[in-house]
Structure 1
Amino acid sequence: MSDTPGVADRRDAVCVIGAGASGLTAIKNLREQGFAVDCYERETSVGGAWNWRHDRSPISSSTHLISSRPLTEFPDFPMPDDWPDYPHHSQVLSYLERYAEHFGLGEHVWFGTEVVSAVPVGDGRWDVTTRSPGGGAERTQRYAAVVVANGHNWSPRMPEIEGEFRGRFLHASAYKNPAILRGRRVLVIGGGNTGCDIAVEAAQQAAEVWHSTRRGYWYAPKYVLGRPADQVNAVMLRLRLPLWLRQWLYKRSVATSAGDLTRYGLPEPDHRPYETHPIVNSQLVYYLGHGRITAVPDVARFDDAAVELTDGRRVEPDLVIAATGYRPQFEFLAPELLDLTEDGRPDLHLHAFARRHPTLAVVGLLQADSPALFPLAHWQSVAVARWLRLRTADPVRAAAVQQTESRRPLEQWSRARVMPTPRHWFEVSSTDYLKVLDELLKRLEPA
Structure 2
Amino acid sequence: MPPSTDPGRPEPDATAPVPTEPPRAVSDRGETVCVIGAGASGLAALKNLKEHGFGVDCYERETGVGGAWNWRHDRSPVYASTHLISSRPFTQFPDFPMPDDWPDYPHHSQLLSYFERYADHFDLRQHIWFGTEVVRVQPVAGDRWDVTTRSTGGYGPERTSRYAAVVVANGHNWSPKLPRYEGLEEFRGELMHASSYKDPAQLRGKRVLVVGAGNTGCDIAVEAAQQAAHCWHSTRRGYWYAPKYVLGRPADQVNDALIALRVPLRVRQWLYHWTLRLTVGDLTRFGLPKPDHRVYETHPIANSQLVYYVGHGRVAPTPEVARFHAKSVELTDGRQIDPELVVFATGYLPRFEFLDPAVLGAVDGRPRLWLNAFAPGHPTLAVVGLVQPDSGLFPLSHWQSVLFARLLALRLTRPDRAAEFAQRVTAGAGERYVGRVTDSSRHWFEVAHADYLRAVQRAMHELEEK
The bucket for the TM-score relative to the shorter chain is over 0.9
Partner of 2:412: 392
The equivalent of 1:38 in structure 2 is: 57
The corresponding residue for 1:346 is 367
Give, in angstroms, the shift of residue 267 of structure 1: 0.5
Q: Which residue of 2 aligns with 1:173?
A: 195
Deviation at 1:305, TM superposition (A): 1.2
User: 1: CA distance between counterparts of 2:111 and 2:159?
Assistant: 33
Normalising by structure 1, report the TM-score.
Answer: 0.97
Aligned to 2:277: 255
Q: How does 1:196-211 map to 2 (within 5 A)?
A: 196-211=218-233
Residue 74 of structure 1 pairs with residue 93 of structure 2: yes
How many angstroms apart in 1 are the aligned matches of 2:38 and 2:365? 23
Where does residue 360 of structure 1 map in the other structure? 381
* Number of the residue aligned with 1:440: 459
Partner of 1:63: 82
**Matched pairs, number:** 441
CA separation in 1, counterparts of 2:399 and 2:335?
49
How much has 1:406 moved relative to structure 2? 3.6
Unaligned runs of 5+ residues in structure 2 are 1-22
For 2:159, the equivalent position in structure 1 comes to 139
Sequence identity (%): 68
- Describe the superposition over 1:241-286 as per-residue Cα deviations: whole angstroms up to 9, x where unpaired: 1110010001011111111000111100000000000000000000
SS of equivalent residue, structure 2 residue 158: strand
Match of residue 16 from structure 2: none
Q: Does 1:218 align with 2:240?
A: yes
Asked if 1 retains the 8 angstrom alpha-carbon contact of 2:375 and 2:425, the reply is no
1:59-109 residue CA offsets vs partner (Å, 9 max, x unmatched): 001100011111110000000000001000000000010001000111110
The letter for the 2-side match of 1:257 is: T
Q: Could you tell me which residue of structure 1 aligns to residue 14 of structure 2? A: none
Structure 2: distance between partners of 1:402 and 1:302? 50
Q: Superposed, which structure 2 residues align to 1:353-432 within 5 Å?
A: 353-370=374-391, 372-408=392-428, 413-432=432-451
Which segments of 5 or more consecutive residues in structure 1 lack a partner in the other structure?
Answer: none
State the secondary structure of the residue aligned to 2:358. Answer: helix
TM-score by length of 2: 0.93
Distance 2:54 2:454 in 1: 26
Contact 2:376 2:425 in 1 (8 A): no
Aligned counterparts of 2:463 and 2:96: Cα–Cα separation in 1: 24
- Specify the alignment match of 2:324 in structure 1: 302
Amino acid at match of 1:27: L
RMSD (Å), alpha carbons: 1.2
User: SS at the partner of 1:85?
Assistant: coil
> 1:414 Cα shift?
2.1
**Contact 1:390–1:446 at 8 Å: present in 2 too?**
no
Query: Could you list the per-position Cα deviations for residues 363-411 of structure 1 after superposition, in whole angstroms to 9, with x for gaps in the alignment?
Result: 00001123x1000100011111111111122111211232245434865
What code does the residue aligned with 2:413 have? A
Q: Which amino acid aligns with 2:190?
A: R
- Name the larger-Rg structure: 2
Is contact 2:145-2:163 (8 Å) kept?
yes
| CA distance 1:140–1:405, shift in 2 (3 Å) | closer
Distance in 2 separating the partners of 1:202 and 1:59: 17
Q: Which residue of 2 aligns with 1:153?
A: 173
Instruction: Report the secondary structure of 1:321's partner residue.
Output: strand
Is 1:21 matched up with 2:43?
A: no
SS in 2 for 1:354: coil
- Cα distance in structure 2, aligned partners of 1:77 and 1:352: 23
Deviations 1:387-444 (A, max 9, x none): 1111122111211232245434865x52240000000000111111111111111223
SS of 2:157's partner is strand
1-structure distance, mates of 2:435, 2:311: 35
After superposition, residues 216-295 of structure 1 pair within 5 angstroms as 216-295=238-317
Given that 1:19 and 1:40 are in contact with CA atoms closer than 8 Å, whether structure 2 keeps it comes out as yes
Report deviation, 1:446: 7.3
Separation in structure 1 between the aligned mates of residue 188 and residue 316 of structure 2, nearest angstrom = 22
Give CA deviations for 1:141-185 in whole Å, capped at 9, x if unaligned: 000011000000000000111102111001000000000111000
Determine the C-alpha separation between the residues in 2 that align with 1:276 and 1:239: 23
Amino acid at match of 1:114: E
Shift of 1:238: 1.2
- Aligned match of 1:6: 25
Which one-letter code corresponds to 1:321 in the other structure? V
Q: How far, CA to CA, are the matches of 1:170 and 1:108 in structure 2?
A: 37
